Amino acid sequence: MENIATSASHLRSEDVNVWFGERHVLKNVSLNFPSNQVTALIGPSGCGKSTFLRTLNRMHELIPSAGFAGKVLLDGHDIYDHDVDPVDVRLNIGMVFQKPNPFPTMSIRENVLSGLKLTGRRGYNAAELVETSLRRASIWNEVKDRLNDPALSLSGGQQQRLCIARSLAMDPEVLLMDEPCSALDPGSTRRIEETITELSDSMTIVIVTHNMQQAQRVSHQTAFFLAEDGNPGRVVEFGKTDDVFNSPIDPRTNDYVNGHFG
Amino acid sequence: MSDIQDVTAEVPARRQLRTKPFSLADRLFYGITKSASSISVILVAAILLFLLSQSFATFQTQGFDFITGSQWNNAKGHEVFQIGPMLWGSVLISILGIIGGVPMAIAAAYFIEFMAPKPIAKVATVLVDLLAAMPSIVIGLWGLYVLTPVVAHWGSLLYGLHHVSMGPVNFDIPIFAMSDGSVPSTFSGSPFIAGWIVAVMIVPIITSVTREIFSQMDRDLINSALALGGSRSSVFMRVILPTASGGVTGGVLLGLGRALGETVAIFYVLNLVSDINWFNILQSKGGSVASLVLQKFGEGTPNEIKALMAAGLVLFVLTLLVNWLAAVIVNRAQPWRKI
Ligand SMILES: Nc1ncnc2c1ncn2[C@@H]1O[C@H](COP(=O)(O)OP(=O)(O)OP(=O)(O)O)[C@@H](O)[C@H]1O
Ligand SMILES: [Mg+2]
């Protein structure tokens, strides 16, 4: 029998390459994201972290000039297979964006349920789903008495946790986060880091971050991306977070994590 | 300096802050823009005053029936001037125009902003703007010589088909019926045709306002909806449209302001009849205040002309109200802009 709480999937990229028009921005990125692990993607600005993240749930192809080569395997199945509906991919692989962006016309409750509405789901217990999702995003206690307030009445940090709750309501197996704390204060950042740690019990998480301490606090493994002058970005180092930060193999990784460039 | 712990410390006197521009160039610029904006306010006020002075006599003799009644007679001694059917006609064809034009405009804006590749989007934008620059007499003639025959053709074809397959058309549906029980044949001169002309005329303005609103939307908002598994249509219906609705409504009202005052184009395609046509939209019988003015002004008697001025005033006030409402709605309903 499958236990919902531990049904996290295993994600893997094989030789992922990305182009925008003729410009080659990512080259042969092969990474393995085991279930229930948090993987941090780090690297200087413009090296292709966000782009890579978007290839993992097929958001990349929404950009008109986008090109792609390689494979992304979710539990062994290539999500880019021609008979796979990108919508199904995105249902399994949720995403949280850099800037908190709850739907402005909806209340807190409606935001949590927005994914179900958008996909035309029926037959769920709304009250229960709202509560569990908000609890998992550790924001329930702060909003339980004001679920019908507009989502924009929340603070930035609360809005971001609401956006996490919104993704969790769809019960994804993998959660992608692109610098989810970069617009937040230290307190909210800490809350979200705690949330990430709790969530990793039940899902696989990939997080892009510019914050080296954050990467060390939340992640099990780390990939260091680098795009050297004019060349496409690639993974320079990938391994256990401890190793990448404390005993990196590549000198460039050492320089980067110690703040010497980027 | 006072001690930072001392809450009772005196504050220094308030200083005069300079709110006007400082440099000569800035003052000049300020002056030019200020006088330009005053000129438009003065012009509007002057028009309003002129219309008021001209129409005073009419309101005195005709009373409130001027707006609600439906007679028009310029014979000396029997003068009655009432614009009820024209006023309602203006509203009716505006409603029809909105029903026809708004979906078209929103779809065009969506296509240009979210679907079309850049070069096509540019061409489409230019074409839509070109439509806005089209003289309304051209659109009127197009309505008369192109649209009307096409509608008549399809109308008789559909009625014929219906007759063959299901027997005579049952005109129990009020808006498709004729007030005299007859069977509609060509639809020419009907509010239906005029409504489509209005639709064509308001599509550009609604499209460009809507496109502007769409382009200001946070892309990540739309991307999050897609990332949640939304399809293009559900994202449009549940996220894009609700978020943009305030601005779009404003655009629609701006278009409506134009539709209400539309004169020449409507004059060509609508059969003006001084007998109110509530909702028989296929009947060759309608009204439009602006077209009434155009029709009667040339050879009007002095009192009739005053009545036409009064009609103009009513239209002017209506348009002003609609525009004001548009401004209020556009300004208020853009919550996503707050950040
Ligand atoms: N929509 C796009 N069209 C064209 N080029 C793009 C697009 N998005 C990103 N790029 C290019 O792809 C490269 C990688 O960008 P990406 O946003 O993935 O970097 P990043 O590592 O996330 O940077 P940051 O840390 O600043 O967020 C950059 O050189 C960028 O200019
Ligand atoms: Mg990025």
> In A108-148, which ranges are continuous DSSP H helix?
108-118, 126-136, 140-143
Counting ligands in written order, which one lies closest to the CA of residue A225? 1
Residue closest to B263 by CA, chosen among B287, B281, B239, B284: B287
Cα A49 to ligand 2 centre (Å): 6
Measured between alpha carbons, how far is A250 from B261 in angstroms, rounded to an integer? 73
* Beta carbon of A170 within 6 Å of any ligand 1 atom: no
Q: Judge whether residue B119 has pLDDT over 70.
A: yes
Q: Are strands A77-78 and A93-96 parallel, antiparallel or unpaired?
A: unpaired
Q: Which residue of A has its CA nearest to B244?
A: A105
Q: Judge whether residue A105 has pLDDT over 80.
A: yes
Count A/B contacts: CB-CB distance under 8 Å. 80
* Beta carbon of A126 within 6 Å of any ligand 1 atom: no
* Beta carbon of A63 within 6 Å of any ligand 1 atom: yes
Q: Which residue of A has its CA nearest to B227?
A: A90
* Beta carbon of A25 within 6 Å of any ligand 1 atom: yes
The number of folded domains in chain A is 1
Kindly determine whether residue B234 and residue A152, on different chains, have CB atoms separated by under 8 Å.
Answer: no
| pLDDT tens per residue across span B292-335 | 999 998 888 999 999 999 999 999 998 888 888 877 877 776 54
Distance from CA of B234 to the nearest CA of A (A): 5
Average pLDDT value for residue range B188-205: 92
Query: Is the Cβ–Cβ distance between A211 and A132 less than 8 Å?
Result: no
The side-by-side arrangement of strands in the sheet containing A77-78 is A23-33, A11-20, A66-74, A77-78
Residue B34 lies in a domain: no
Disruptive mutation site among A105, A129, A152 for chain B (greatest number of B CBs within 10 Å): A105
Conformation bin of residue B68: beta by default, left when phi > 0, alpha when psi is -120 to 50: alpha
Cα A181 to ligand 2 centre (Å): 12
pLDDT reported for residue B336: 46
Counting ligands in written order, which one lies closest to the CA of residue A22? 1
Q: Judge whether residue B3 has pLDDT over 70.
A: no
CB-closest option in A87, A104, A117 to B243: A104
Distance from CA of A74 to the nearest CA of B (A): 16
What six digits make up the tokens of B159?
A: 């009625």
Kindly determine whether residue B224 and residue A163, on different chains, have CB atoms separated by under 8 Å.
Answer: yes
Residue A203 lies in a domain: yes
Looking at per-residue pLDDT, the higher value among A209 and B16 belongs to A209
**Chain B residues with CB-CB distance to A98 below 8 A:** 220
Residue B315 lies in a domain: yes
Q: Judge whether residue A84 has pLDDT over 50.
A: yes
Q: Judge whether residue B229 has pLDDT over 60.
A: yes
- Name the DSSP class of B240: I
| pLDDT tens per residue across span B142-176 | 999 999 999 988 888 877 777 777 766 665 666 77
Kindly determine whether residue A118 and residue B229, on different chains, have CB atoms separated by under 8 Å.
Answer: yes
Distance from CA of B109 to the nearest CA of A (A): 18
> In B114-147, which ranges are continuous DSSP H helix?
118-133, 136-142
**Chain B residues with CB-CB distance to A64 below 8 A:** 117-118
Average pLDDT value for residue range B14-18: 85
Measured between alpha carbons, how far is B313 from B52 in angstroms, rounded to an integer? 7
Residue B245 lies in a domain: yes
pLDDT reported for residue B320: 87
Q: Judge whether residue B12 has pLDDT over 80.
A: yes
Residue A118 lies in a domain: no
Average pLDDT value for residue range A130-150: 94
Distance from CA of A152 to the nearest CA of B (A): 9
> Among the listed ranges A186-195, B141-150, B181-190, which one has the minimum average pLDDT value?
B181-190
> In B167-301, which ranges are continuous DSSP H helix?
191-216, 219-227, 232-235, 241-261, 264-269, 289-297
Kindly determine whether residue B229 and residue A104, on different chains, have CB atoms separated by under 8 Å.
Answer: no
Kindly determine whether residue A115 and residue B226, on different chains, have CB atoms separated by under 8 Å.
Answer: no
Mean pLDDT (chain B) is 87
| pLDDT tens per residue across span B247-300 | 888 888 888 887 787 778 899 999 999 888 888 888 888 999 989 999 998 888
| pLDDT tens per residue across span B97-107 | 999 999 999 99
Supply the range of the domain harboring residue B277: 86-337
Average pLDDT value for residue range A69-95: 95
Distance from CA of A252 to the nearest CA of B (A): 32
Residue A239 lies in a domain: yes
Q: What is the CATH number of the domain that holds B235?
A: 1.10.3720.10
| pLDDT tens per residue across span B21-42 | 788 898 899 899 999 999 999 9
Mean pLDDT (chain A) is 93
Kindly determine whether residue B242 and residue A105, on different chains, have CB atoms separated by under 8 Å.
Answer: yes
Q: What is the CATH number of the domain that holds A238?
A: 3.40.50.300
The number of folded domains in chain B is 1
Supply the range of the domain harboring residue A244: 9-106+173-257
For residue B128, the tally of other CB atoms under 10 A from its CB is 20
pLDDT reported for residue A44: 95
Average pLDDT value for residue range B117-144: 91
Cα A49 to ligand 1 centre (Å): 8
- Count each helix (H run) and each strand (E run) in chain B, helices first: 13, 2
* Beta carbon of A50 within 6 Å of any ligand 1 atom: yes
Measured between alpha carbons, how far is B203 from A15 in angstroms, rounded to an integer? 48
**Chain B residues with CB-CB distance to A95 below 8 A:** 224, 227
Residue B8 lies in a domain: no
ipTM over 0.85: yes
Residues belonging to chain A with any Cβ–Cβ distance to chain B shorter than 8 Å: 57, 59, 62, 64, 87-88, 90-91, 94-95, 97-99, 101, 103-106, 114-115, 117-120, 150, 152, 163, 166-167, 170
Q: Give the residue, by CA position, lying nearest to ligand 1 atom 10.
A: A20
| pLDDT tens per residue across span A217-241 | 999 999 999 999 889 999 999 999 9
Disruptive mutation site among B216, B223, B228, B233 for chain A (greatest number of A CBs within 10 Å): B228
CA angle B58, B61, B66 (to 5 degrees): 65
What six digits make up the tokens of B12?
A: 């220094």
